[in-house]
Amino acid sequence: MNTLYEYGGDEFIFVQLSEEMSLESNFAGMAITRKLKEKQVEGILDICPSNASYMVRFDPDVLDPEVLMNELKEIERTIDPLDVTISSRLVDVPVLFEDPWTHEALMRFRDRHQDPEATDLQYSARINGYANTDDFIEAITRSPFLVSMIGFVPGLPWCFQMVPREKQIEVPKYVRPRTFTPERAFGFGGAFSVIYPVQGAGGYQLYGIAPAPIYQKEQTLPDFKDSMVFPQQGDIFRYRSITRDEYDDIRKQVDEGTFTYQKKAFTFTPGEVLGDLESFSESVMRRLYHD
């Protein structure tokens, strides 16, 4: 990796591991930032991992910037990111594709889209070489996604599908952003899937809506007991296509305060993933639903 190290004012160091997102660079950043957290270096205030980079905030009155810079370089030099054990969760994430709410939203903003005559799903299926939207949805739901970072707005999971590069889905963002996106909308931008945690603006292609929240300020649901944000970097999401009846049933559980995500604790090494992506994805699906 041609890593770029930069100071950001008096309190930050920014480290770019790669100019493009890849599982390799994300795993490297995950390994480095987790090792740094384990060291509990006095003076470090925050560690913020991203898709292919990370940033560290520190107190310069406590920790010399040059000392920290050297520590980060030493961690990168000595750590083997392929052999680091990552504690994770496998999570079943239901999604209602082609729902009425995101459809209404996307149709309001066709003048801001690359193809005003098509829906976001139709456009995305076509430019990725799929014959129809059903085949495109099957490609999204067939293989799991790695939660590569959390951010942009609180709780939003950026998810990168765990498939060989030639099978990656990629779509552009809107030409101009929408001023409205429904809460829990499921979308895609670049090579990343997202679930919008709250209502707001947005520019990702919209495909559906999740019935369960991934951010809950009130923390009344069991999955939010310890944090108002459900996703964690390193989680592995499997988006599962559901019917409208299933959607309504889950919404009822959410309203009653009884909904919990189907999930299982899971550990893996990046070497296992990158050694055979398709076999790893198959093992994830078996573990989540059958083991």
pLDDT of 240 strictly over 90: yes
Rounded Cα distance between 77 and 60, Å, is: 24
Rounded Cα distance between 280 and 144, Å, is: 10
Q: What angle do CA 209, 210, 213 make, to 5 degrees?
A: 130
CATH number at residue 169: 2.40.100.10
Please say whether the beta carbons of 145 and 161 come within 8 A: yes
CA-based radius of gyration for the chain: 20
Q: Binning pLDDT at 50, 70 and 90, where does residue 1 land? A: low
Q: Give 41-72 pLDDT, tens digit per residue.
A: 999 999 999 999 999 999 999 999 999 999 99
Q: Binning pLDDT at 50, 70 and 90, where does residue 16 land? A: very high
Tokens coding 272: 């296992």
- What secondary structure, in 3-state letters, does 237-276 show? EEEEECCHHHHHHHHHHHHHCCCCCCEEEEEECHHHHHHC
Average pLDDT over residues 96-101: 98
Q: How many domains does the chain have?
A: 2
pLDDT of 291 strictly over 80: no
pLDDT of 205 strictly over 70: yes
Rounded Cα distance between 177 and 70, Å, is: 41
Picking from 78, 105, 135, the residue at the C-terminal end of a domain is: 78
Please say whether the beta carbons of 55 and 16 come within 8 A: no
Residue 201 DSSP SS3: strand
Tokens coding 50: 């991203």
CATH number at residue 42: 3.30.1360.40
The answer on 70 and 114 residing in a single domain is: no
Q: What is the pLDDT of residue 69?
A: 97
Please say whether the beta carbons of 98 and 246 come within 8 A: no
Decide which of 258 and 20 is more confident.
258
Q: What is the pLDDT of residue 61?
A: 97
Strands 236-241 and 86-97, how do they pair?
A: parallel
pLDDT of 290 strictly over 90: no
Per-chain mean pLDDT for the chain: 95
pLDDT of 108 strictly over 90: yes
Q: What is the pLDDT of residue 153?
A: 83
Q: What is the pLDDT of residue 232?
A: 95
Please say whether the beta carbons of 56 and 68 come within 8 A: yes
Q: Give 244-277 pLDDT, tens digit per residue.
A: 999 999 999 999 999 999 999 999 999 999 999 9
The answer on 202 and 98 residing in a single domain is: yes
Enclosing domain of residue 229 = 87-289
Q: How many residues does the chain have?
A: 291
The answer on 208 and 155 residing in a single domain is: yes
Average pLDDT over residues 27-47: 95
CB-hemisphere CA count at 13 Å for 21?
Answer: 18
Q: What is the pLDDT of residue 2?
A: 84
Q: Binning pLDDT at 50, 70 and 90, where does residue 154 land? A: confident
The answer on 120 and 95 residing in a single domain is: yes
Q: Give 165-191 pLDDT, tens digit per residue.
A: 899 999 999 999 999 999 999 999 999
Q: What is the pLDDT of residue 138?
A: 97
Tokens coding 167: 């099978």
The answer on 143 and 249 residing in a single domain is: yes
The answer on 25 and 126 residing in a single domain is: no
The answer on 158 and 251 residing in a single domain is: yes
Q: pTM to 2 decimals?
A: 0.93
The answer on 154 and 67 residing in a single domain is: no
Cβ neighbours of residue 65 under 8 Å, at least 6 residues apart?
7, 10, 13, 58
In what helix (H) or strand (E) does residue 121 lie, and over which residues does it extend?
helix 120-127
pLDDT of 129 strictly over 70: yes
The answer on 176 and 107 residing in a single domain is: yes
Rounded Cα distance between 237 and 258, Å, is: 21
